[in-house]
Amino acid sequence: MGFTRAKQNRIFQDIVQQIQQAIVRGELVAEEKLPPERELCTIFSTSRGTLREALRILEQKKLISIKLGAGGGAIVREANSELIAENLFLLLENGRVTRRHLVALTAELAAQVATLAATMAGKKDVGPLKQLVATLTNLLEEQNGNRELPVSMDSLLFAELAGIGANPLYGFLLQAALATIGKFTGKDTEMNNARQTRHYQQIRMIVYAVARNDRQQAHQLAQKHILELTPSPHA
């Protein structure tokens, strides 16, 4: 990584930008630790207070995590959808969008991810898809009745399908949308055992459609599946 002395008229922003760009370019990778604060202060020619404020902003952006104590420090995080989910939830809370908007978007994303997976799935993907079904079966047996279970199962399903479809951007956006749905589904949506079992069966049908390379059915099933996740027409 080639950090340089921060520009004195905008030290704070410059530190954030340099570290962020190093992460985006792959010069800093997930789980890699940034140099110690003293070394970073020397590199950027800044005070420890200014550096810590820059690191705090990078932590808020979910680009790094700060671990305290011996062996701690600033550690680069894997790319994730948490920040997108937080912003989506804020839009819901302030009324800029409704739950109906969010569920409709999520359904379209899920349909696209399933369609891509059905298009690209090959023999190498059969094993992982079977393992996914086995994992979800165990989850249903262990956690049936847990209101958060359907979204957890969907998160595993679409993470697998996004990997098969080889478009990580769809995966990030869909995971963020599912996480946002989960914040209100677990609170106020009734999800009894029978409905959770039906939810699981729908997932199996999506998986089988992908394995058969049935693009049309995968698209339709995935879209319908998400629309039924939070059936509240006036939300």
Q: 148 and 110: one domain? A: yes
Neighbour count for residue 212 (Cβ, 10 Å):
12
In a domain? residue 234: no
3-state DSSP assignment of residue 65: strand
Q: Which of 76, 106, 133 is the last residue of a domain?
A: 76
Mean pLDDT calculated for residue range 167-186: 83
Task: State how far the Cα of 64 lies from the Cα of 74, in Å rounded to an integer.
Answer: 6
In a domain? residue 233: no
CATH code assigned at 164:
1.20.120.530
Q: Which two tokens stand for residue 66?
A: 């700060």
Please report, for residues 105, 137, 182, 196, 221, the alpha-carbon distance to residue 190 in angstroms, rounded to integers and kept in the order given: 22, 21, 13, 10, 22
In a domain? residue 232: no
Q: 70 and 166: one domain? A: no
What was the pLDDT predicted at 120?
96
In a domain? residue 148: yes
Q: Which of 76, 95, 126 is the last residue of a domain?
A: 76
94-108 pLDDT tens trace: 887 888 899 999 999
Closest to 162 in 3D by CA, of 218, 204, 201, 102: 218
Kindly indicate the confidence band of residue 192, based on its pLDDT and cuts at 50, 70 and 90.
confident
In a domain? residue 1: no
Q: 158 and 113: one domain? A: yes
User: Which of 74-78, 83-87, 116-120, 197-201 reaches the highest mean pLDDT?
Assistant: 116-120
Place of tokens 């990997």: 163
The fraction of the chain above a pLDDT of 70, given in percent, is 90
Residue 231 reports pLDDT greater than 80: no
Alpha carbon 227 to its chain's center = 19
Q: Which of 76, 108, 134 is the last residue of a domain?
A: 76
Domain count, the chain: 2
Domain extent, residue 181, equals 82-227
Detail the DSSP E strand segments found in 64-211. 64-67, 73-76
Q: 97 and 156: one domain? A: yes
Could you give the maximum distance between any two Cα atoms of the chain, in Å? 63
In a domain? residue 183: yes
3-state DSSP assignment of residue 76: strand
Residue 220, CB-side half-sphere exposure with 13 Å CA sphere: 5
Q: 71 and 186: one domain? A: no
In a domain? residue 97: yes
Task: State how far the Cα of 218 lies from the Cα of 204, in Å rounded to an integer.
Answer: 11
69-92 pLDDT tens trace: 777 889 998 766 776 787 788 888
3-state DSSP assignment of residue 73: strand
42-56 pLDDT tens trace: 999 999 999 999 999
Q: Which two tokens stand for residue 122?
A: 């090959």
Neighbour count for residue 152 (Cβ, 10 Å):
16
Mean pLDDT calculated for residue range 57-77: 85
1-51 pLDDT tens trace: 677 776 666 788 899 989 988 887 778 888 899 999 999 999 999 999 999
Q: 72 and 89: one domain? A: no
Q: 138 and 215: one domain? A: yes
CATH code assigned at 25:
1.10.10.10
In a domain? residue 185: yes
Q: 134 and 221: one domain? A: yes
